[in-house]
Amino acid sequence: MVMAATTLTDRSVVRIAGADIPGFLQGLVTNDVTGSLPVWAALLSPQGKCLFDFLVWDDGDDLLLDCEAEASDDLIKRLTIYRLRRPIRIERDFSLAVHWATEGAATADPRLPELGNRWIAPTGEPASGWLEHRLRLGVCEGRAELGDTLWLECNAAELNGVSFSKGCFVGQENTARMNWRQKVNRRIVVVETDVPGPRTRVHYPELGLAVEHRRVDDLDGAVVPCWLKEALARQASA
């Protein structure tokens, strides 16, 4: 499926091919890659902080990672460390690109249906509007926005980025402990501002938006969509 002006030029496709690819990735990433795909997942540090986030798609016996283009080479290097002697290939697939549209017959974004639809196909014309659309919904991604942050503070539970029933993954111990205690004291949030502040991780002046790491009791000026508001209410009543 190829449509005009749908290619997300800030994304790349990494193909993982070889023997038992789901089994290889299942023990590393935060979500269940043996069931229905796509899913949003991350590769964490042993301390449970986000190193890379991506969407995982199936393509026959292979898995495709829909990932941040600038981080793709580093992601490949990191996964190669875990490959050891397995007969597995991990490489960019330059024949494919990630596509997005706000409507149509493609697959809904697994993080939040309101994000729109995504698919993998050969490169087409560049899409426009994705960044603001995503940020206005309070959804963050990529190393600049999420990097080196505890995964649950990246709103992973609310945006379907973690499975607590799949078994072990890198960084699971801290992630599971935070979930069990139901205490996520800080969150990555989108803030409406024209001026970056001391807590700003990324500023998008052309949009009047920034991404910040805030305490949950200090969200003045933050975009708090329904999915986040519900999570904060549940935590406050726990």
Predicted local confidence at residue 120, as pLDDT: 97
pLDDT in tens, 175-211: 999 988 888 999 999 999 999 999 999 999 999 999 9
pLDDT in tens, 154-180: 999 999 999 999 999 999 999 999 988
Name the β-bridge partners of 54: 41, 67
User: Sorting pLDDT into bands at 50, 70 and 90, what band is 1?
Assistant: very low
Domains recognised in the chain with CATH numbers = 11-237 (3.30.1360.120)
Q: Which residues contact 229 (CB under 8 A, 6 or more apart)?
A: none
Tell me the pTM: 0.95
User: Sorting pLDDT into bands at 50, 70 and 90, what band is 2?
Assistant: very low
User: Sorting pLDDT into bands at 50, 70 and 90, what band is 51?
Assistant: very high
pLDDT in tens, 74-101: 999 999 999 988 999 999 999 999 999 9
pLDDT in tens, 147-159: 999 999 999 999 9
Q: What is the rounded average pLDDT of the residues 22-35? A: 97
Q: Which of 59, 144, 65 is nearest to 98 (CA)?
A: 65
Is 94 in contact with 77 (CB distance < 8 Å)?
A: no
What's the count of helices (H) and strands (E) in the chain, helices before strands? Answer: 6, 11
Q: How far apart are CA 43 and CA 83, in angstroms?
A: 14
Predicted local confidence at residue 238, as pLDDT: 65
Predicted local confidence at residue 24, as pLDDT: 96
Neighbours of 220 (CB within 10 A): 6
